[in-house]
């Protein structure tokens, strides 16, 4: 237990997952110290939220701040297929007539700073410019961290629970060798930003658009943001995007040519940033918890960004982990059994989102599916908005399998 000097919980990383878990624990009166290696604001990709973030943002006390923010309101998602045919916007409100169905396109440097300041305002002790070097173990149990503080001093901080929210740096995945790469979603990404590019008006201004490449090898995201900026990125198989290509800038330009619906939209604006790249990034840790330690957000696992699920998963794992940690601190039990109470249900939810992503890459038609099984329209929407954590959704996947079987039999 905290001895007055040591916090109950230390958190590594101040992104959305770290800010969430620390705020919710501090709200229950426990001492939390968070160590973030950067000074905020700092750049980050991951700009489109999905509606189910609403409920965690509400618990964090972030909703009013979001409503007052300059972030563009997002009401829908829209798909453009390989031949350029555009679906009608898919409005979240039609499925759930509640204010949670309006979400936001965020500039992450601003959103993450708001989240971190919000954590601070609720009692979390935040250290920026403080890089965690290692997690200290006694036997198998995590008992603290070693950190280099802003003034270059190396400190040891002991705590009852260590939460790793270090994002794709994955401090503990590396230390414990827990990384499992996804055998199917072996993708890469190239992205940049445009100013003055096409944007819809009114309710559709903030729609995320997912546009298939003409050759069906991948897809573009088109995310309208504040200050007349649009985030535009292409996702495709790693080999396709990076092997035998000249450089990222030319590949990006070539893939735009391969997607006339994107060219049409960006041609009225100008590209304002060099192309950035990420490779081979879908992975999962083989476990999320141990005695005295917990992984949340990307530090546990990351899923292809097709349905913009990353920040939701960061918030949700932060929330579930915080509840298990608080209960453990109340009962004096910070064993893996206690800290891992949320793990199974969370992984099931993540797997449902993964399955949906894989179906898209497999060429599965959601339109055909819903026409054949109209009773699943609501469940498909639940999955798309991130309402993933309920077992009854699995019926959808059983019927997707049935439909595939029917198609095979007919051939």
Ligand X SMILES: Cc1cc2nc3c(=O)[nH]c(=O)nc-3n(C[C@H](O)[C@H](O)[C@H](O)COP(=O)(O)OP(=O)(O)OC[C@H]3O[C@@H](n4cnc5c(N)ncnc54)[C@H](O)[C@@H]3O)c2cc1C
Which positions lie near ligand X, rule CB under 6 A? 12-18, 35-38, 44-49, 131-132, 165-169, 171, 189, 233, 278, 281, 297-299, 302, 305, 308, 310-312, 314
Distance CA 165, CA 34 (A): 10
* CA 322 centroid distance within chain: 18
State the nearest-atom distance from the C-beta of 340 to ligand X, in Å.
18
Cα-Cα-Cα-Cα dihedral sign, residues 301, 57, 9, 13: positive
How many other CB atoms are found less than 10 A from the CB of residue 59?
Answer: 16
Q: Are strands 9-12 and 161-164 parallel, antiparallel or unpaired?
A: parallel
Q: What are phi and psi of 32, to 5 degrees?
A: -125, 130
Instruction: Return the number of the residue (46 or 224) whose C-beta is nearest ligand X.
Output: 46
At its nearest, how many Å lie between ligand X and the CB of residue 188? 9
CB burial readout 327-346, b (16+ within 10 A) else e: ebbeeeebebebbbbbbeeb
| CB-nearer residue toward ligand X: 6 or 278 | 278
Least CB distance to ligand X at residue 91 (A): 18
CB of 264 to ligand X, least distance (A): 22
Closest approach of ligand X to the CB of residue 220, in Å: 12
| Smallest distance, ligand X to C-beta of residue 312, A | 6
Smallest gap from residue 99 Cβ to ligand X (A): 19
DSSP type of residue 287: -
Give the residue with the Cβ less far from ligand X, 133 or 272.
Answer: 133
Do 137 and 117 touch, CB atoms closer than 8 A? Answer: no
* Nearest CB to ligand X, comparing residues 80 and 132: 132
The CB-of-189 to ligand X minimum distance in angstroms stands at 4
Indicate the residue among 269 and 318 with the shorter CB distance to ligand X. 318
Q: Which two tokens stand for residue 26?
A: 């501090």
Q: Which residues pair with 49 in a beta bridge?
A: none
Are 63 and 349 contacting, i.e. CB atoms less than 8 angstroms apart? Answer: no
| Euclidean distance between CA atoms 68 and 65, whole angstroms | 5
Which is closer to ligand X, CB of 147 or CB of 400? 147
Distance CA 9, CA 284 (A): 24
Classify 217 as helix, strand or coil: coil
Q: Toward ligand X, which CB reaches closer, 262 or 400?
A: 262
Pick the closer one to ligand X by CB: 17 or 320. 17
Bridge partner list, 34: 11, 126
Nearest Cα residue to 80 out of 260, 201, 235: 260
280-290 burial, b if ≥16 CB within 10 A, otherwise e?
ebbbbbeebbb
């Amino acid at each position: 237990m905290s001895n007055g000097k040591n916090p109950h919980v230390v958190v590594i990383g101040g992104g959305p997952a770290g800010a969430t878990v620390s705020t919710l624990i501090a709200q229950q009166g426990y001492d939390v110290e968070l160590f973030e290696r950067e000074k905020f604001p700092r750049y980050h990709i991951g700009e489109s939220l999905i509606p189910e973030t609403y409920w965690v943002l509400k618990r964090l006390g972030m909703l009013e701040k979001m409503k007052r923010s300059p972030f563009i309101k997002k009401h829908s998602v829209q798909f453009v297929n390989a031949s350029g045919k555009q679906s009608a916007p898919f409005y979240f409100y039609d499925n759930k007539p509640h204010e949670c169905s309006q979400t936001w396109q965020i500039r992450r440097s601003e959103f993450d700073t708001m989240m971190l300041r919000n954590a601070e305002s609720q009692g979390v002790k935040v250290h920026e410019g403080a890089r965690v070097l290692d997690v200290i173990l006694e036997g198998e149990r995590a008992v603290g961290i070693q950190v280099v503080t802003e003034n270059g001093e190396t400190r040891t901080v002991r705590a009852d629970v260590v939460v790793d929210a270090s994002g794709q740096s994955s401090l503990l995945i590396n230390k414990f060798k827990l990384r499992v790469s996804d055998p199917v979603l072996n993708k890469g990404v190239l992205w940049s930003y445009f100013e003055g590019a096409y944007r819809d008006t009114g309710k559709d201004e903030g729609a995320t658009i997912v546009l298939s490449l003409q050759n069906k090898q991948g897809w573009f995201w088109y995310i309208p943001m504040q200050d007349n900026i649009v985030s535009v990125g292409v996702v495709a198989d790693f080999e396709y995007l990076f092997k035998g290509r000249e450089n990222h800038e030319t590949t990006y330009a070539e893939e735009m040519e391969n997607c006339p619906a994107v060219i049409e939209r960006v041609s009225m604006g100008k590209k304002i940033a060099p192309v950035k790249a990420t490779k081979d990034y879908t992975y999962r840790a083989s476990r999320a918890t141990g005695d005295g330690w917990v992984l949340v957000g990307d530090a546990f696992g990351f899923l292809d960004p097709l349905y913009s699920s990353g920040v939701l998963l960061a918030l949700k794992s932060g929330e579930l982990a915080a509840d298990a940690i608080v209960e453990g601190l109340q009962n004096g039990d910070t064993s893996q059994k206690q800290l891992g109470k949320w793990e199974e249900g969370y992984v099931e939810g993540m797997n449902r989102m993964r399955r949906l992503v894989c179906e898209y890459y497999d060429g599965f038609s959601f339109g055909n599916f819903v026409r054949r099984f109209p009773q699943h329209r609501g469940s498909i929407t639940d999955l798309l908005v991130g309402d993933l954590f309920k077992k009854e959704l699995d019926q959808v996947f059983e019927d997707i399998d049935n439909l595939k079987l029917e198609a095979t039999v007919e051939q």
